């Protein structure tokens, strides 16, 4: 009996996923046509590929609604057919057929953060690269003034470039200034030297500088043709300063947090993102419990539609509360752990409370 209910719930979640995926892909396709179609001539295939690369990251953000709508649809259908009435009349508690569905949602949440999130991050990165290639081509014209930071337990380096570009997967900076600071035992930063270079190329483990002028405090500058400066950055992490935490894959977040802290950046956004991903399985399970709790009212008692609508409304409240807490956590108004875990726990307790009221009176 529990297996039958679980299968029905999974089918409902699958149907909700299909609808949401279709809507998102349609919206993304229209949006890309509107934003890119006027700037360059793109074929239908190019637009479709861009849509397929961008959509997964958006779909993952809406997965909580997939479980809410899919589970609620499945339980309401079972209730309307009086199947739940028959199951409960046979002495099967609602807890027994809701628990497997919640466990399945939790398992899907684990799969989402460990596999689907990194995959969506890779696809989103390829979307950005492909969009740049299609709209601008592989231009070598540098553009964009940037500031970067890198660091370890001994030094922090602030990097300023008046222009940058990426060619053949290599980050290239133009008119570069490097401000090297040593970290004192007290944690204070002491200026060590300044390096000026006409160009800097990021290679594995090093910045390769050309046409270099190096100045130390209290001494004259020294010129050299080439200079190598150790670097902990790669092509992606060099631009991480300008990437939203939501674009960083789950498995990269711990290293990104450490790199940000060593470089002197605030890591609150990345810590919040990590905690939100860790809370994702609980959020999926909570949405499933919430959907079930607001769908078990007996048909003869009436107002099942109103109760289901209340459950959907509460789901939207949880979603917006999650976004609100995320904004507070990103600005360090509240701790990232509290911001990430409060909405799922609130949703779970709300569902359990309603389920206790419905099942146990």
**CATH number, position 222:** 2.60.450.10
Give the Cβ contact number of residue 123 at 10 Å. 15
147 within domain boundaries: no
Residue that finishes a domain, picked among 171, 203, 231 = 231
117 and 171 inside one domain: no
Contact 68, 75 (CB under 8 A): no
- What confidence score (pLDDT) does residue 294 get? 80
* Segment 100-128, tens digit of pLDDT: 999 999 999 999 999 999 999 888 888 87
67 within domain boundaries: yes
42 within domain boundaries: yes
132 and 157 inside one domain: no
- What confidence score (pLDDT) does residue 141 get? 46
Distance CA 13, CA 105 (A): 10
- What confidence score (pLDDT) does residue 275 get? 94
297 and 171 inside one domain: no
130 within domain boundaries: yes
216 and 316 inside one domain: no
107 and 29 inside one domain: yes
192 within domain boundaries: yes
Range of the domain at 215: 153-231
Kindly give, in sequence order, each residue whose CB lies less than 8 Å from that of residue 333, ignoring residues fewer than 6 positions away: none
Tokens of 191: 């200026």
- Nearest alpha carbon to residue 171 among 196, 148, 194: 148
For the chain, the domain total comes to 2
Tokens of 140: 């070598």
Distance CA 318, CA 284 (A): 12
Contact 47, 130 (CB under 8 A): no
The whole-model pTM stands at 0.75
318 and 210 inside one domain: no
HSE-CB for 75 with a 13 A CA cutoff: 29
143 within domain boundaries: no
92 and 13 inside one domain: yes
339 within domain boundaries: yes
Residues of the chain short of pLDDT 50, as ranges, are 138-142, 242
- What confidence score (pLDDT) does residue 104 get? 94
- What confidence score (pLDDT) does residue 81 get? 80
344 and 220 inside one domain: no
356 and 290 inside one domain: yes
SS3 170: strand
Contact 20, 59 (CB under 8 A): yes
Distance CA 103, CA 111 (A): 12
Kindly give, in sequence order, each residue whose CB lies less than 8 Å from that of residue 58, ignoring residues fewer than 6 positions away: 24, 28
241 within domain boundaries: no
277 and 221 inside one domain: no
């Amino acid at each position: 009996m529990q297996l039958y209910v679980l299968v029905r719930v999974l089918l409902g979640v699958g149907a909700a996923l299909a609808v949401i995926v279709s809507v998102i892909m349609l919206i993304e396709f229209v949006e890309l046509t509107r934003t890119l179609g006027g700037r360059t001539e793109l074929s239908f295939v190019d637009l479709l590929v861009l849509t397929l690369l961008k959509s997964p990251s958006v779909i993952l953000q809406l997965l909580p609604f997939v479980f809410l709508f899919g589970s609620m649809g499945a339980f309401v259908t079972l209730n309307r057919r009086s199947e739940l009435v028959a199951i409960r009349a046979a002495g099967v508690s609602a807890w027994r057929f809701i628990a497997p569905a919640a466990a399945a949602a939790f398992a899907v949440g684990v799969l989402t953060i460990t596999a689907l999130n990194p995959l969506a991050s890779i696809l989103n990165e390829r979307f950005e690269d492909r969009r740049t290639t299609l709209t601008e081509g592989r231009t070598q014209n540098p553009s964009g003034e940037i500031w970067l930071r890198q660091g370890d337990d001994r030094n922090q380096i602030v990097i300023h470039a008046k222009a940058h570009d990426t060619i053949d997967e290599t980050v290239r900076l133009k008119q570069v200034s490097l401000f090297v600071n040593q970290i004192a035992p007290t944690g204070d930063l002491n200026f060590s030297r300044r390096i000026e270079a006409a160009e800097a190329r990021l290679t594995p483990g090093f910045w390769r500088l050309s046409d270099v002028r190096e100045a130390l405090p209290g001494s004259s500058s020294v010129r050299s043709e080439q200079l190598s400066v150790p670097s902990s950055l790669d092509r992606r992490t060099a631009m991480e300063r300008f990437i939203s935490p939501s674009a960083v894959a789950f498995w990269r977040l711990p290293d990104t947090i450490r790199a940000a802290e060593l470089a002197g950046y605030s890591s609150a956004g990345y810590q919040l993102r990590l905690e939100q991903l860790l809370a994702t399985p609980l959020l999926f399970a909570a949405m499933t419990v919430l959907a079930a709790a607001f769908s078990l009212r007996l048909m003869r008692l009436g107002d099942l539609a109103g109760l289901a609508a209340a459950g959907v409304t509460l789901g939207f409240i949880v979603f917006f509360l999650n976004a609100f807490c995320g904004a507070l956590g990103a600005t360090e108004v509240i701790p990232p752990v509290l911001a990430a875990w409060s909405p799922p726990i609130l949703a779970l307790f709300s569902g359990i409370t309603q389920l206790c009221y419905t099942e146990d009176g």
